[in-house]
Amino acid sequence: MTDEVRRELLRVFAAVDDAVAAARPRCDASGRCCHFTEYGHTLFISHFEAELLLQSAPPYLKPVSRDDCPFQIGGLCTAREVRPLGCRIYFCDPAYEARMVEITERVIARLKRIAEKHDTGWRYAPLHVFLNEAERPQDVDTNTMTPPAPVHPRPGRVPLPVV
């Protein structure tokens, strides 16, 4: 992602945050929406959001399922600053539903214009698809027999081999 695209994306995030704050939606579920399957939805994100998220988000275990957000730990979002637009816009407040749809439609159109302007192509897919495709050394793939290397080994400690 170029610096210019990143700046434009961050401006979109700020505009969305302002629009949501102005609407003053109520959150009744306090993080339950991050349990996608249980809550009955799928978080779709653009390739822009995925790239920004993957640049800054903490490590996560792979494969990521479609069921839950891997960045919600202990009921808190560990990727809050770079959370996708769906996370910024979605609230379970029935009085906010029409405004939520309006904000979402407007922001997706804006992202598509950015993609067209910068000739990046357009991709929109579930969160888990982007996370499973990403190749970040800090993420742990649990679909392998090779144990992950310690991220921050303790001085003086040598990991034992897996037998």
Q: Is 89 exposed, middle or buried, given 0-12, 13-18 or 19+ CB atoms closer than 10 A? A: buried
74 phi-psi bin (left φ>0, alpha ψ -120 to 50, beta other) = left
Average pLDDT of 133-138?
Answer: 83
- Asked if residue 120 has pLDDT above 90, the reply is yes
- Asked if residue 156 has pLDDT above 70, the reply is no
- Asked if residue 122 has pLDDT above 90, the reply is yes
What pTM was estimated for this model as a whole? 0.79
Average pLDDT of 62-88?
Answer: 92
Cα separation of 10 and 5, whole Å?
Answer: 9
